[in-house]
Structure 1
Amino acid sequence: MALAAMRCRAARPAAASRRSAVSSRRVTVVSASMSVADLNTKYGIPGSVEFKEGKSGSTVVALKHACGSSAEMYLFGACVTSWKQPSGDEILYVRPDAVFDKSKPISGGVPHCFPQFGPGAMQQHGFARNLDWAVSATAADPNPDERDPTVEVVLTESDYTTKMWPHKFKAVYTVSLHGEQLNCQLRVINTDDKPFDFTAALHTYIEVLSIDKAKVTGLKGLKYLCKAKDPKNPEDKVEDRDAVDFTGYTDSVYLNSPNHVELEVGTGAAVALDSSGWEDTVVWNPWHTMKDCYQSFCCVENAKFGSAAKVGPGQSWTASVSFSVVDVSK
C-alpha cells in the first residue's frame, strides 16, 4: 500500500445513504459452477461489476466505483481479498501462505466464520469459508456521482454442511462500494422447521505499516476474553488501555463492543469499522507463530460470539459493517 497517500484519505458518508434504485439489477440464483463468460453475460455491469479468472483458476468478482475505488471477492468462501482506495492503495492483507486452489480457506482479506467462530463441534471457523457461494444479484446505482457497484451471493445447506450442522438455511452476503467505503452485509435465514443458533465473524485482515506501530481504539473499559494463553479457557479481563497495542501474541474477544472501532495503521491513517448487529470485536495478531508476515497485518474482526445468534423458523439475522479510511494525523 502506498502509505503516504493512504493517510490523506477521509471517510465518505455512511453506507445507510445508499439508494435502492439501480441502473442495472440482475437477479436469479445460479449454480456456483457457472463459467466466467456466463457470469458476465448474466450479471456483469460494464464499468461496475466484472467476473474474471483469479489465482488457480478460481472465479473472482471485481467491483469498481466511479470515484476509482475497487474491490475483489472470490466466490470460493465469498472472501473479499482486495479493497483499494482511488489512489490505488490496498487496505486489506492477504498472507503469503494463502492458496486459491480451494484446498483450504483463503488466508487473508475478509474470510467468513459461519456457523461457528473458532474451534468447536465442527471444523475450525465453520464451513462457509470452504465452499463456493452462488451469485444471486448484481446492481449499480444510477446516480453518476454515486454509482455503487454491488454483488450478492448466497450459500445454502448441502450434504456436506448438514453432516456438520443439521439445519436448512440460506446465507445472503452483499458486498458493495459506496464511494471509498467497502460495505459488507450478512443475512442468515432459517429455512428449516426448527430453530437454530450459531456464532459468526468476518475475519478481516488489514495491512499495517508495522505491527509495533498499530493500535486499536474504541475498546477501553470493555470486558474481553483473552485467548492468548489458552484458547479453550480464556481469561476474563477488562481493557484499561486507551489504545490496544501489540507487544506479543494477541487473541482477544471484546464483548458488547461499540459500533465504531478504529485500527490506526501507523501512517497517520486509520481504518474505521462501523458495524450493526455484530455486537463483539476480535483483535488478533499471530506474532512469532507467523514470523514471515505478522508485522504486516492486524485482524480486527466483527463477531457474534459472546451470545449465539438464535433464529426461529422463517426468521432471519442480519449484521453489517462499513469500512472506511480516516485521517488521524491531526
Structure 2
Amino acid sequence: MAFSSLRYTMRCEARPCLRAPAKVRRTVSVIASSVADLNTKYGIPGSVEFKEGNSGSPVVVLKHACGSSAEMYLYGACVTSWKQPSGDEILYVRPDAVFDKSKPISGGIPHCFPQFGPGAMQQHGFARNLDWAVSTASADPNPDDKDPSVEVVLTESDYTLKMWPYKFKAVYMVSLHGEQLTCQLRVINTDDKPFDFTAALHTYIEVLAIEKAKVTGLKGLTYLCKAKDPKNPEIKTEDREEITFSGYTDSVYLNSPSHVELEVGTGAAVALDSSGWEDTVVWNPYTTMKDCYQHFCCVENAKFGKAATVAPGESWSATVTLSVVDVTK
C-alpha cells in the first residue's frame, strides 16, 4: 500500500516549532571542511548526503527514490526529520530545541542510554549529548529501489567513564525502506566485566491535536504510572482499548507487544513495529509545556522494566520500524 496518498498534513501552527533559532554558530570554513570530508568519505549521490545543520552541526540526509527522506544530527545521533513522499513531516521537534550542543536536542528521536529516566547519572544518560562518529553509509539496491542507510558509533571516553565505568561500543543504524524508517541500536561490551543498562528511543510524533491522539495495542498490560513521582511510580493495569490524553501522561508499559500504533488525528496512524525493545513509553507533558504539548505525543520503544545485561564480548540489539498507516478503513 502506498502511504504517501494518506492525509497526514498537520495544522500550520505546528510547523514553526520544527526549527528553533540557533544560539551559537561555528565558523563556516571549519564546518564546510567537516561536511565536505564526510561527503567525500561517506556520501552517496542521491541517497546519502551530509550538510550543515542548525548551529553548524553536521547532519546526514537520507533520500529514497520513492521521495521519502530522513535527517539525523551527528550530535546525539538524533533523527530530527522523517518525511513521506508527500512532504508531510512525521516527527516533531519542540520549539525550545537548541542545536548548539549546550543540551540534548529536544525532539525527533533522541537516545536514552545507558540510563532511561532519572537515576545515578544525568537524566536519560549521556548518549544524547555526545557526538557520534560515522562508520559506514550505503544505498544497497533491492529489487525495486535503493535503500539509503547510515551507521554511527559511540564509544567510551573520559567523560562517560566518570558516569558509567565501562568500555562499550554503541552502533546505531538508520535507514529508509520505501516510506518506512528503521532504527537499529546495538550495544557491544568491549570491557572485561559485565554491565547493565536501560535504554529507549524517545520518539516525538507530530499529532493534529493531543485531544485527537490515540495509542492502541496496550490494553491489558501492567504499566508504571510516573506522572506523580517518576522515582516511585504507581503500578497499574491498562483497561483502555485506546489511550487518550486529558492530562499529564508518563507511563511505561511493561512487556508490550511488538506492534503499537499512534493515531494522529488525521485519519492516519504511525505504526511502530519493534524487536528487542521490550517496553513502550507513552508521554505527553500537557500544560507543563503550554507552547507545544498540543502538537506531539511521544511513543517510545524502551528497555526499562528489566535492565539489559551484557557479558564481555557479547552484545544486545533492538530495532524499530516506523510506518504510516490508514486507520479510516
Give the TM-score, by structure 2 length.
Answer: 0.91
Q: Distance in 2 between matches of 1:84 and 1:232?
A: 36
Q: Distance in 2 between matches of 1:61 and 1:130?
A: 17
User: Which secondary structure does the structure 2 equivalent of 1:151 belong to?
Assistant: strand
Q: Distance in 2 between matches of 1:59 and 1:153?
A: 13
Structure 1 residues not aligned, in runs of 5+? 10-31
AA of the residue aligned to 2:156? E
**1:141 CA displacement:** 1.6
Q: Distance in 2 between matches of 1:82 and 1:54?
A: 12
Sequence identity percentage: 85
Correspondence for 1:318: 317
Q: Distance in 2 between matches of 1:38 and 1:144?
A: 31
**1:256 CA displacement:** 0.1
Taking a change above 3 Å as real, the CA distance of residues 287 and 8 of structure 1, as seen in their structure-2 partners, is: closer
Counterparts of residues 150-299 of structure 1 (less than 5 Å): 150-299=149-298
Q: Distance in 2 between matches of 1:311 and 1:97?
A: 36
Q: Distance in 2 between matches of 1:52 and 1:148?
A: 20
Correspondence for 1:28: none
User: Which secondary structure does the structure 2 equivalent of 1:36 belong to?
Assistant: helix
Correspondence for 1:43: 42
User: Which secondary structure does the structure 2 equivalent of 1:148 belong to?
Assistant: strand
Conserved 8 A contact 1:66-1:145? no
Counterparts of residues 87-102 of structure 1 (less than 5 Å): 87-102=86-101
Q: Distance in 1 between matches of 2:148 and 2:176?
A: 6
Q: Distance in 2 between matches of 1:6 and 1:81?
A: 22
Higher relative contact order (CA 8 A, sep 6+): 1
1:181-239 Cα shifts (integer Å, max 9, x gaps): 00000000000000000000000000000000001000000000000111111000000
Conserved 8 A contact 1:211-1:246? yes
Correspondence for 2:24: none
Q: Distance in 2 between matches of 1:7 and 1:51?
A: 30
Correspondence for 1:69: 68
AA of the residue aligned to 1:94? V
AA of the residue aligned to 1:243? E
Conserved 8 A contact 2:223-2:238? yes
Conserved 8 A contact 2:153-2:169? yes
AA of the residue aligned to 2:7? R
Conserved 8 A contact 1:6-1:89? no
Q: Distance in 2 between matches of 1:6 and 1:80?
A: 23
Alignment pair present for 1:304 and 2:306: no
For these two proteins, the number of residue pairs brought into alignment is: 306
Conserved 8 A contact 1:8-1:327? no
Correspondence for 1:20: none
Taking a change above 3 Å as real, the CA distance of residues 87 and 293 of structure 1, as seen in their structure-2 partners, is: same
**1:161 CA displacement:** 0.1
Correspondence for 1:12: none
**1:34 CA displacement:** 7.4
CA RMSD of aligned residues (A): 1.7
Conserved 8 A contact 1:273-1:324? yes
1:84-107 Cα shifts (integer Å, max 9, x gaps): 000000000000000000000000
Q: Distance in 1 between matches of 2:51 and 2:132?
A: 15
Q: Distance in 1 between matches of 2:102 and 2:174?
A: 24
Correspondence for 2:7: 7
Give the TM-score, by structure 1 length.
Answer: 0.91
**1:169 CA displacement:** 0.1
